[in-house]
Amino acid sequence: MSHTYSMYTTKNHNFYKLANITKVLHNKIYTQFHLITSMKFLILTLSLMLSLTPFTHASSTVPNSTPTSTSKPIPGSPKPQQYIHADVLAPPYMDDTSVIIGTGEVMGVYYPAGGAICRMMNSTKSSLNVRCGVESTSGSIYNLKALKNADIEFAIVQSDWQAHAYDGTSFFKSDEPFDKLRFVFSLHNEAFTLIVRKDSDIKNIDELKGKIVNIGPSTSSVRAIMSTLMQAKGWNTNTFKEVKELKFGDDATALCNKEVDAIVLASGHPNGAVQDVLSTCPTTIIPIDGSDVMDYLQKHDEFAATVIPGGMYVGVPKDVQTFGVKATLVTTTDTSTEIVYHLTKSVFENFDLFKQIHPVFHHLQIKSMITEGATAPMHPGALKYFKEKGYISHK
């Protein structure tokens, strides 16, 4: 399998490189948000996005640095899409001094979140000499399978799927419980976001019945979200006129082309992909609420009610009630205490800078990052750092 690599350069403050035109367009979308924030944040984000250009790894250019993939295939799972590595001298899977964070789709939030964590880790002095890289994947379920398969060392996943993997339930019920799974810290809230065409006459979630709905590929984050929504409502795929299994990105195109009536994603807000579809064709975000949803939330504490603020997007003037999960960083007991400690310290010792990487990080609070979304036990490396700083009691 061939991979495209990007060089990560901290000397001139380039955060990480996006390797195709889609990502550049994504940056333009985000710029619309940044114009209403401080100029400092705008410049920081533009440098993060626009600094990314394709780099094809070749041994003739960088001696002794040709990557060797040792990843194991995961049956039924999509292949990872792309790597961004923090230093060309330490390509993914080359040796034990390289760690990889499984993230999500390029247009999502997990991808820049992983890049931000790697940037902090790679720019923080340590005797470990460990370099961090980012892998773009299809999302939480793929990441957890890859983590269990030892193909990656860290992963960003939704808190509900962290719980399912640890307990061996839902999509993981055919597997043994992932008892080696460990929580490091949580990130932002992720709201389940249901987008419909305005001409579909869908005003609330109950009106999805009898419509054409995208449920996503089998191991995608979209499928995971739709499974949760259907469980909360007591539905199955027969509830809809037709279901599509479109991947992220293709679903928005299908929505605008009137091939589906509704699409869903879980995301922190603002989100460039959401802004893209809302500004491309007449669409809006509808509520995910009702008594049956509230009953479901009371029985599943890995979820919580939340709001998508009105006025954040074109066509969405009022607050939208919904529910969601936490994005979390996880690893396994096979990852050393020293490495997890170093990663955790590098993020929290540069916390103010980390919060500037993306708009969804602006409201991060250290306390909630430690206490919320931990559906698996905390890794000893993270626990060591949090105790040293007094964030967690030594008792």
Q: What is the dihedral of CA 181, 338, 134, 324, to 10 degrees?
A: 40
Q: What is the mean pLDDT of residues 380-385?
A: 98
Rounded mean pLDDT, 224-245: 92
Q: Which residues does 384 contact at the CB level (< 8 Å), separation at least 6? A: 337, 341
- pLDDT higher than threshold 90 for residue 392: yes
Q: How far apart are CA 93 and CA 68, in angstroms?
A: 6
Per-residue b or e along 200-209, where b marks 16 or more CB atoms closer than 10 Å to that residue's CB: bebeebeebe
Q: What percent of the chain has pLDDT over 70?
A: 75
Name all domains of the chain by residue range, CATH numbers in brackets.
97-187+327-389 (3.40.190.10), 189-325 (3.40.190.10)
Give dist(CA 80, CA 384) in Å, integer.
Answer: 32
* Token digits of residue 313: 């997007």
| Statement: residue 140 has pLDDT above 60 | yes
What is the average pLDDT score of the chain? 78
Of 253, 251, 255, whose CA–CA distance to 265 is shortest?
A: 251
Q: Quick one: 251 exposed, middle or buried, by C-beta within 10 A (0-12, 13-18, 19+)?
A: buried
Instruction: Tell me the torsion sign for CA atoms 224, 272, 358, 54.
Output: positive
- Spatial distance between the Cα atoms of 274 and 215, rounded to a whole number of angstroms: 17
- Residues contacting 112, CB < 8 A, separation 6+: 15, 16, 48, 357, 358
Q: Which amino acid makes up residue 186? A: S
Kindly state the DSSP code that residue 124 receives in the 8-state scheme: S
Q: What are the tens digits of pLDDT across the range 100-134?
A: 999 998 878 899 999 999 999 999 988 888 999 99
Instruction: Choose among 153, 104, 103: nearest CA to 130.
Output: 153
Residue pLDDT, tens place only, 304-344: 889 999 999 988 999 999 999 999 999 999 999 999 999 99
Q: Which residue from 73, 69, 34, 105 is spatially nearest to 357, judged by alpha carbons? A: 34
